[in-house]
């Protein structure tokens, strides 16, 4: 196919391969997905200038991605990966996100971002509030207040080692290490 549009320059592709856990094919597929979200904003060829870091899709468009649509944490995930915490993502950030959620990414970095996702108020600790927010999202608000408090306080009690009533990153890491489910569920297949 001679007249095929060059989506990325060779250099860009090499950069992406070096900076993410994705293969060449994955990157191209993700670009297609990104473009399909808003064909009028995203150009077909990403080679020009710095399209990849300036063209921004709003949060409400991103969450329409089929792989993300049903995820209850979708908004929070986008916020974590966007530079300004608004949830609007450029292609670079979008690619970053899917790289972390790919099967190739090691545990450490997944735990790092998981912590960020669950830390809703950005205070570097997962407190009672954060836990309750996560629980509310998970159960679609079906637990009553008493049950919710019970579960939150129990969860914090389980993991809180230094007795400050909230989970630091190390405590979170410690808990996640013992939850074998985490690694098998914390990924999105593209």
Query: Which residues 5-64 are close enough to bind other proteins by CB under 8 A?
Result: 15, 18-21, 23-25, 52-53
Q: Does 176 bind other proteins (CB under 8 A)?
A: yes
Looking at the Cβ atoms of 43 and 160, the one nearer to other proteins is: 160
Q: Does 86 bind other proteins (CB under 8 A)?
A: no
- Nearest distance, CB of residue 152 and other proteins, angstroms: 8
Residue from 59, 73, 75, 149 touching other proteins (CB under 8 A): that is 73
CB within 8 Å of 143: residues ≥ 6 apart: 135, 136, 151
Residue from 29, 33, 75, 187 touching other proteins (CB under 8 A): that is 187
CA distances from residue 180 to 57, 82, 90, 174, 177 in whole angstroms, order as listed: 34, 28, 33, 12, 7
Site string for other proteins, 105-144 (x = CB under 8 A): -xxxx--xxx---x-----x------x--xx--xxx-xx-
Looking at the Cβ atoms of 4 and 69, the one nearer to other proteins is: 69
Looking at the Cβ atoms of 5 and 19, the one nearer to other proteins is: 19
Query: 145: helix, coil or strand?
Result: helix
How far, in Å, CA of 97 to CA of 87, rounded? Answer: 12
Q: Are 43 and 55 in contact (CB under 8 A)?
A: yes
């Amino acid at each position: 196919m001679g007249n095929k549009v060059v989506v990325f320059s060779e250099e860009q592709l090499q950069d992406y391969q070096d900076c993410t856990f994705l293969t060449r094919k994955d990157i191209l597929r993700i670009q297609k997905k990104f473009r399909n979200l808003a064909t009028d904003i995203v150009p077909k060829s990403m080679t020009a200038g710095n399209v990849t870091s300036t063209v921004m899709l709003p949060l409400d468009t991103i969450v329409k991605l089929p792989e993300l649509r049903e995820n209850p944490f979708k908004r929070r995930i986008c916020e974590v990966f966007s530079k300004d915490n608004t949830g609007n993502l450029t292609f670079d950030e979008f690619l970053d996100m899917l790289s972390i959620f790919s099967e190739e990414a090691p545990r450490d970095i997944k735990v790092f971002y998981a912590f960020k996702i669950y830390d809703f108020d950005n205070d570097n600790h997962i407190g009672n509030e954060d836990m309750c927010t996560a629980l509310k999202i998970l159960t679609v608000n079906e637990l009553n207040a008493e049950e919710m408090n019970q579960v939150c306080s129990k969860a914090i009690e389980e993991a809180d080692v230094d007795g400050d009533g909230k989970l630091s990153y190390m405590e979170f890491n410690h808990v996640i290490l013992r939850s074998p489910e985490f690694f098998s569920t914390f990924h999105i297949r593209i």
